[in-house]
């Protein structure tokens, strides 16, 4: 069970400020959606939670179950609870998909080997559930996978590793409607009181299949509005420009955006 709290998070990429004070709380069992225009800092937030060294936290904290994780290395965060489904998963042909997932499970198991037969059984079941060709277990990690196959493979890894906190960075990008439904099925299968999730997306359509508890809108490196699933539906009709205009007007009247 993981509760994520982000307080006044300010992040630089090189010399450029990307996040300008993000505040966010995700309670155990909740699924949140994070939306916003291109270049507004959504992926930066995702990568910063995971600990990508390309991003420098200049202020603020990230707390997971009351523990400040900002000083933890990437792998420590992963072993603690965090999983990031990446926008562009890497290809590593020299290790098979199955061996890689098994190695990751071993690492999360205090380095003790996870029994192979139950692992393979679970892997097979999850691959069937996600309609992944069984031969892909023995292929190199993401090697020569299509974009959609890589996204499904990210969900497979999530289902095998069973993190308490998952961040899905544009998991729906590049998916056709059938693949989107399968990915959504995987996310919904994870739903429980011990699993919380932040889904970064540009489009409402993912949220038709994975209904979030909370939707956040990010602009200029801050979360400027939060609400229920209807916020995404409204945004689909009006677009970001109108929201920006409204928020600008509110700002000029002295209202806080957060």
Hey, what's the torsion of the CAs at 62, 67, 72, 77, to 10 degrees?
-90
Q: Strands 222-227 and 92-96, how do they pair?
A: unpaired
Considering the complex, state which of residue 63 and residue 100 has its C-beta at the smaller distance from another protein: 100
**Residues with Cβ < 8 Å from 89, sequence gap 6 or more?**
142, 150, 151, 153, 154
Smallest distance from the beta carbon of 246 to another protein, in angstroms?
37
Considering the complex, state which of residue 73 and residue 246 has its C-beta at the smaller distance from another protein: 73
Smallest distance from the beta carbon of 108 to another protein, in angstroms?
5
Smallest distance from the beta carbon of 22 to another protein, in angstroms?
20
Considering the complex, state which of residue 6 and residue 156 has its C-beta at the smaller distance from another protein: 156
Which residues here bind another protein, judged by CB under 8 A?
50, 52-53, 73-75, 78-79, 83-84, 86, 89-90, 92-95, 100-101, 103-104, 107-108, 157, 161
Considering the complex, state which of residue 21 and residue 89 has its C-beta at the smaller distance from another protein: 89
Considering the complex, state which of residue 13 and residue 257 has its C-beta at the smaller distance from another protein: 13
Nearest Cα to 2, choosing from 101, 112, 53, 78?
78
CA distance 124 to 203: 31
Smallest distance from the beta carbon of 250 to another protein, in angstroms?
38
Backbone angles phi, psi at 97, to 5 degrees: -55, -50
Smallest distance from the beta carbon of 159 to another protein, in angstroms?
13
Considering the complex, state which of residue 80 and residue 208 has its C-beta at the smaller distance from another protein: 80
Residue length, the chain? Answer: 258
Any alpha helices (H) in the chain, and if so which ranges? 42-50, 74-80, 97-108, 116-129, 147-161, 177-190, 205-209, 229-252
Q: Estimate to the nearest angstrom the gap between the alpha carbon of 12 and the chain centroid.
A: 20
Smallest distance from the beta carbon of 94 to another protein, in angstroms?
3
Considering the complex, state which of residue 101 and residue 224 has its C-beta at the smaller distance from another protein: 101
Q: Per DSSP, what are the bridge partners of residue 197?
A: 31, 166
Smallest distance from the beta carbon of 2 to another protein, in angstroms?
15
Residue pair 18/46 in contact by the 8 Å Cβ criterion: no
What is the DSSP secondary-structure string of 35-52? E--TTSSHHHHHHHHHT-
């Amino acid at each position: 069970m993981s509760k994520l709290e982000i307080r006044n998070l300010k992040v630089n990429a090189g010399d450029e400020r990307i996040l300008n004070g993000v505040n966010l709380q995700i309670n155990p069992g909740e699924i949140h959606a994070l939306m916003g225009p291109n270049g507004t800092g959504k992926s930066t937030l995702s990568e910063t939670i995971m600990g990508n060294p390309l991003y420098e936290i200049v202020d603020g904290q990230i707390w997971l179950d009351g523990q400040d994780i900002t000083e933890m290395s990437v792998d420590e965060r992963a072993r603690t609870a965090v999983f990031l489904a990446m926008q562009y998963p890497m290809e590593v042909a020299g290790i098979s998909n199955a061996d890689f997932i098994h190695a990751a499970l071993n690492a999360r198991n205090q380095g003790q080997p996870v029994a192979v037969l139950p692992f393979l059984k679970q892997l097979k079941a999850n691959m069937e559930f996600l309609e992944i060709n069984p031969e892909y277990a023995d292929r190199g990690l993401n090697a020569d996978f299509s974009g959609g196959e890589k996204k499904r493979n990210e969900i497979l890894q999530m289902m095998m590793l069973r993190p308490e906190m998952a961040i899905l960075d544009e998991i729906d990008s590049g998916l056709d409607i059938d693949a989107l439904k399968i990915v959504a099925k995987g996310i919904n299968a994870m739903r429980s009181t011990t699993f919380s999730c932040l889904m970064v997306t540009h489009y409402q359509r993912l949220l038709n299949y994975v209904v979030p508890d909370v939707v956040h809108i990010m602009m200029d490196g801050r979360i400027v509005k939060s609400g229920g699933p209807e916020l995404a539906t409204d945004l689909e009709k009006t677009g970001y420009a109108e929201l920006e205009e409204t928020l600008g007007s509110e700002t000029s009247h002295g209202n806080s955006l957060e």
